[in-house]
Amino acid sequence: MDPIQDNIEANDHTLIHTLLFLVRENNMKEDLEVASKCLRSLEKSAYKTVVVYNQGCFTNDQLKSFLDLFGLKCIVIGNGNNAGTVIGRQSCFEWIEEHYQNARFISELHLDMVFTNDWEKPLIHYLDTHDEPIISCGIIDKDGYMNFLEKRAEHFQGDLSITDDFLMQLRCDRVVHGFTNPCIHVAEILKCTGGYNPKFLKGKQCFEDDSMLLGYYYYYGTRASWYPKVNYNSVVYHAVAGQRLGMMDSVLINYEGLVRQYGAMGLKHLSELHKSLWHIRYFKEQYERM
């Protein structure tokens, strides 16, 4: 018997996926090829309901027609404007809370990902058997690098390697300190912590994950010393992972909101929550400047 299979409900609404959908008008052909590869692979998931936030440049009807090409149950929200990550993701969370109140888990997916058969099952099994609010999936990026394991995959040949067999061979029984997408949230705890708060995070992107991680950290209390984890019992392809854009003014809007929301101690705790040296150094320096 498969203990992972036994612990997963047959109800398709146990897990609801969320996806921000943006294609660029000047790069539409390539973007649609990437999106098609992602969605075609997502058909192999155990759970096939996806709340899609339309960030542009399709109308909702055009996007629905495109999504109908795939064996998924896609619900389109948004209006085709690039409202940013915070509003996009939070709108998906709130839509699920209203329409799928029995959903136990909520994922965050990106269009530049490729998934394996039933990739969610080991992650749901982990959340079912551990007191955790969130778990990230193991990833391999476009350069063959397996972040958080600090190694490159052997015999990696770019797109030619992105097959079920290759990704399955990368799986290992390791759960390590770190955070990345795709991730799966426990819906009840996500609701308690509030997800991404646009009252503070008014920029389009950056620092929203840090805000979410602090919400979970304080949910458990500082005494528990909770930290995020990546589970390599499942591995998917994520072309560009863990990126930080240049610290432009528009990006720093969210940093300023993060500080308003959590203060100097939030920066200190982020330097301890994160695994990557970039994050550790950045948040430690910002805390020391306060």
pLDDT value for 104:
97
C-alpha pair distances (Å), 272 with each of 121, 217, 281: 29, 11, 10
pLDDT value for 186:
98
My answer on whether omega of the bond before 228 falls inside 30° of 0, hence cis, is no
**Cα 41 from chain centroid?**
16
pLDDT tier at 5, thresholds 50, 70, 90:
very low
Q: What is the mean pLDDT of residues 170-195?
A: 97
| Closest by CA position to 279, among listed 253, 255, 250 | 255
Q: Is pLDDT of 4 > 50?
A: no
| Closest by CA position to 107, among listed 159, 171, 201, 38 | 38
Residue range 76-98, pLDDT digits in tens: 999 999 999 999 999 999 999 99
Question: Would you mind telling me the total number of residues written for the chain in this entry?
Answer: 290
Domains of the chain: 3-289 (3.90.550.10)
pLDDT tier at 178, thresholds 50, 70, 90:
very high
C-alpha pair distances (Å), 122 with each of 2, 73, 96, 141: 11, 22, 22, 20
Percent of the residues in the chain that have a pLDDT greater than 70, as a whole number: 92
| Closest by CA position to 253, among listed 216, 218, 211 | 211
Q: What is the mean pLDDT of residues 12-23?
A: 93
pLDDT value for 1:
40
pLDDT value for 229:
98
Q: Is pLDDT of 269 > 90?
A: yes
Helix (H, G, I), strand (E, B) or coil at 278: helix
Q: What is the mean pLDDT of residues 256-279?
A: 95
Residue range 102-149, pLDDT digits in tens: 999 999 999 999 999 999 999 999 999 999 999 999 999 999 999 899
Find where tokens 């799928």 sit: 100
8 A C-beta contact, residue 154 and residue 63: no
Which among 26-30, 93-97, 150-154 has the top mean pLDDT?
93-97
User: What's the mean pLDDT when you consider all of the chain?
Assistant: 91
pLDDT value for 11:
46
pLDDT value for 232:
98
Sign of the Cα torsion 53, 57, 58, 59 reads positive
pLDDT value for 255:
94
